[in-house]
Amino acid sequence: MMGIKWNELLITGDPLILGSQIAILLTMIGIVGGITYLKKWRWLWSEWLTTVDHKRIGIMYIIAAVLMFFRGGIDGLMMKAQTARPEMEFLNAQHYNEVFTTHGVIMILFMAMPLLIGIMNVIIPLQIGARDVAFPQLNALSFWLFFSGAMLFNISFVIGGSPDAGWTSYFPLAGKEFSPSIANNYYAIALQIAGIGTLISGINFVVTILKMRTKGMTLMKMPMFTWTSFIASVIIVAAFPILTVALALMTTDRLYGTHFFTVSGGGMDMLWANLFWLWGHPEVYILILPAFGIYSEIFATFSRKSLFGYKSMIFSIVAIAILSMVVWVHHFYTMGSGPAVNSIFSITTMAIAVPTGIKIFNWLFTMRKGRIKMTTPMLWALAFIPCFIIGGVTGVMLGMGAADFQYHNTLFLVAHFHYTIIPGVVFAVFAALYYWWPKMFGFMLNEKIGKWHFWLFVIGFNVTFMPMFFLGLDGAVRRSYTYSVESGFAPLFLLSAIGSAVLALGFAAFCYNIYWSARYADRNISSDPWDARTLEWSTASPVQFYNFAKQPEVTTLDPFWHMKKKNEGLTLKDSEIEEIHMPSNSGLPIFMGAVFSVAGFFLVFEWHIAAVVAAVGIIAGLIIRSFDYDEGYHVKKDEIKKIESTWRNVEGEVHNDVS
Amino acid sequence: MEKIMKGFPLSHVIGFVFSLILTFGAAGIALKTDLSFKVIMWIIGSLAIMQAGIQLFMFMHLREGEDGKTNVLNILYGVFMAVVIVAGSIWVLSSGHAH
Amino acid sequence: MSANVDTTLPLEYQTEQNRLNILGFWIFLGAEIILFATLFGVYGVLYERYAGGPTHKDIFVIKDVMIQTLLLLTSSFTMGLAIFEMRLHNLKRLITWLIITLVLGAGFLFMEINEFIHYVHEGATMQTSAFLSSLFVLLGTHGAHVTLGIGWAIMVIIQLAKRGLTPVTARKTFIIGLYWHFLDVVWIFIFTFVYLKGLVG
């Protein structure tokens, strides 16, 4: 406790960071003042912060992740501004290092993954006809641990300093020897906290999907989004413990002088790369599989056909799940493992293109002879296919060990993974938000603004990243804060920077769409506005807290579509209503999140006694939970009847007046 | 679940006796014989796997309940991952110029 | 979430929530397998990197390792007996076996702490070499799990004493049982691939 250097606590001397510090302070005062003025504290606490409702937890994930998207996007724009012209002096080398590090970490771990987990949270229990996830309170804990990790990581650039060793944080650079400040402790500890939350989510979804499907929904009748989320959850359970260990070893190396990844003492720096990618490669499939599921739902709905090749889809995702575990070395071919290792991993890497190709063909055949509706979600899905193929094909190029020595560490690689992750995940998330927005909030996002959003974003994306392929082939390296006039890179870099501005406009259009639709969109819409196929559309919009008054019975794939065709199971008779058991809210998850933040913060600053004291709070939380015998409560029949009558018509049928 | 109701924990006692034999057997082979390192490692590695099996099936009742099959698949997948992680890491980091 | 009680099953499987929790814990054990596998992998990569410091043969004491192994093996057996008695609805014997299990576990922990103190006295600390870093972290992670298990089991015993055998307390006891057996499985691999391998090579 004695060695605190107070003058190092707050980062000073950089006008950009000073501006952010003031902005953060003002925003916080604004939020606290606003909630107090509107007297919303009690509402916030009892309706949101202590909720165990999967839909609300999902929405909180989505809100937090969109904010993180904004933060990571600003980082991206700063990089594009810095490299717009040769020899720019907007950011210095150190600041640039920090910005690309936080951009990567935030976009992958605090934007893409929580957005997908948020959507999974809202949709999966609805798609399988369940009333909640298997462990509602653990679900809240997952969210608060993610949030705690995200906040801890985000304060780094104003308090103590931003991590600056890249999102991969390779050793020896990330070790104490070459990064002596506390900045990289943030990486090790914030990711650890968020990672534990993700692991818990994974277990929760595996059990939910295995055990809580409604009557008649066998595994082979599950909607594709549920299937892909299930496999993604399995991969989470298999991969996140590796990250847990890797980060723990990084922490002991940095804080307690062990020699896992150090240059001295017999440590091995490439062991870090090995562990990081043992987790990191499955991680990209954790991102992409739920996104594939989203596209599958959207192609089927808007082609008005059931998904082509359902079984081959499942075969492909299971194959991807297994193969994704045995390709990790392709991230570091140049380490020098020798021809045998590189050859084997080249082969497994190329093999993974096969199941992915099967999926692309299945989507194309789903559209064939379909009656396609060009809605905003469908546009995103259509744009995904060509963009993602560019990403995939360049991936096969990079996957060849011998050729990789040429592309390695250039902007070609950067362009490649942006071409997989942005169409693969970000387009999917936008598609999902447009598609399921009415289910979450009871009104639709505006289609016209949505198309502006779509075109600006897709054009901006291509203009930003396409030039980077050519820059990379010309030898422009990644993570370099500037380049010379003589290199000849200037025109393409400028084009790329202009593209990023268009991309940002697209994101602004999305934010405006949320604002516009929240204010003006029609509230009197059908509970099934897209004429969709799966069970989430068979209940109210926004969904009542118990999801289904009567759990639906399923006999086929695309159950709601068949229920509508046969006009069966759409009504609810008074006699069918029974009391519903629901879990109670709990303040424990948010308490645990807070304690983890505080303990993590102390550990970042290596104030060990304070960290231990704070960690007592974690033990206390576990003990309280062990003695908690709250059994939930029952919703009375009268209340259910009242709620159901607000959205069904007189005969108890699903409300269907499309305006 | 059924046969356990008899009153004497037979399978537990058998499991315990076996695990003692396997433990002392492994120690004896490793420390008191002159076999080559490779042979010893194969033998005691196999004994360890047998002992893990005893714990899983005789003490933890891996296959019982309506999710018995799921449990078996889950553990098999965990073992597959364990082999990939351990053997893969050692192979990748000890061949070529990496070491 | 609904009650869905089936009284033909053992107590811990009777409610749907119990079945969910038990499956969830098995999945968690799957994650634990991978966590320990990663630590074993790290140890496997670093185990001959002594950096001029002590080697396995310099520090391992086989007699103490055998005692530790016996303590943990026996505790796994007594935990099995506890669950056995639970299924016979014999609360007193259940608690007795649980307490015996914990005493054995505490004995193991005492031996392990002594072992660490012995290593440090021999000049073998976590900071000495990559081999010792990976050894201490692998053993320490297992030891931390045992410590946590003891604390957790005490909570369960208090609840058993207060509430008797109900589906909820039976489920909690069953799950701590799974956890305890699992720690024994991990120890078997530590015994074989750390201690015996180190003394053979």
- Residues C34, B82: C-beta atoms closer than 8 Å: yes
CA distance C104 to C112: 12
Contact A525, A116 (CB under 8 A): no
Rounded Cα–Cα distance for residues B58 and B65 (Å) = 14
Question: For A274, which of B70, B81, B92 is closest by C-beta distance?
Answer: B92
Does residue C189 lie in a domain region?
Answer: yes
Residues on chain B touching C56 (C-beta within 8 angstroms): none
Parallel, antiparallel, or unpaired for β A580-582 and A633-635? antiparallel
Q: What is the pLDDT of residues C47-103, one digit of tens each?
A: 999 999 999 999 999 999 999 999 999 999 999 999 999 999 999 999 999 999 999
Q: Is residue C6 part of a domain?
A: no
Confidence at residue A604, expressed as pLDDT on a 0 to 100 scale: 94
Domain count within chain C: 1
Nearest Cα of chain B lies from the Cα of C68 at a distance, in angstroms, of: 12
Measured in angstroms, the CA of C152 and the nearest CA of chain A are apart by: 8
What's the longest Cα–Cα distance across chain B?
61
Domains of chain A: 40-586+630-645 (1.20.210.10)
Residue B61 has pLDDT above 70, yes or no: yes
pLDDT in tens, A3-44: 556 666 777 777 878 888 888 888 889 888 998 998 889 999
d(CA A198, CA A201): 5
Residue in chain A closest to C38 (alpha carbons) equals: A242
Give me the domain span that covers residue C121. 21-200
What pLDDT, in 10s, does the model give residues A560-580?
999 988 888 888 888 888 999
Cis amide bond preceding A355, omega within 30: no
CB contact under 8 A, B44 and C40: no
**pLDDT at residue B5, as a whole number:** 52
- Model pLDDT for residues A181-219, shown as the tens digit of each residue: 999 999 999 999 999 999 999 999 999 999 999 999 999
Cβ-defined contact of C73 to B23 (cutoff 8 Å): yes
State how far the Cα of C148 lies from the Cα of B44, in Å rounded to an integer: 29
Q: What is the DSSP letter of B3?
A: G
Q: Are A347 and A323 in contact (CB under 8 A)?
A: no
Interface of C with B in 104-123 (CB under 8 A): none
Measure the CA–CA gap between A11 and A94, rounded to whole angstroms. Answer: 13
* Contact list, A325 vs chain B (CB under 8 Å): 81, 84
Tell me the pLDDT band of C9, cut-offs 50, 70 and 90.
confident
As for the ipTM of the complex, it is: 0.95
Cβ–Cβ of A338/B88 closer than 8 Å?
no
Q: Which residues on C lie below 8 Å from B37 (Cβ)?
A: 200-201
SS (H, E, C) A530-572: CCCCCHHHHCCCCCCCCCCCCCCCCCCCCHHHHHHHHCCCCCC
DSSP A222-290: S-HHHHHHHHHHHHHHHHHHHHHHHHHHHHHHHHH---SS-SSTT--HHHHHHHHHHHHHHHHHHHHHH
* Residue range A585-607, pLDDT digits in tens: 999 999 999 999 999 999 999 99
Record: contact A245-C42, CB cut-off 8 A: yes
Taking every pair of C-alpha atoms in chain C, what is the biggest distance, in angstroms? 63
Total CB pairs under 8 A between chain B and C: 136
Question: pLDDT-based confidence at A546, cuts 50/70/90?
Answer: very high
Residues contacting residue B30 through CB under 8 Å, at least 6 positions apart: B40, B44, C196, C197, C199, C200
What's the pTM value of the predicted model, to 2 decimals? 0.95
Nearest Cβ partner for A274 among B77, B81, B93: B93
Q: What is the CATH number of the domain that holds C151?
A: 1.20.120.80
Contact A347, A339 (CB under 8 A): no
Helix axes C167-190, C16-46, angle to 10 degrees: 10
A635 backbone dihedrals φ, ψ, rounded to 5°: -85, 130
Residue C10 lies in a domain: no
Closest CA to A221 of A534, A598, A10, A484: A534
Q: Examine the pLDDT at A2 and tell me if it is beyond 60.
A: no
pLDDT digits (tens, 9 = 90+) for A344-354: 999 999 998 89
Say if residue A430's pLDDT is above 70: yes
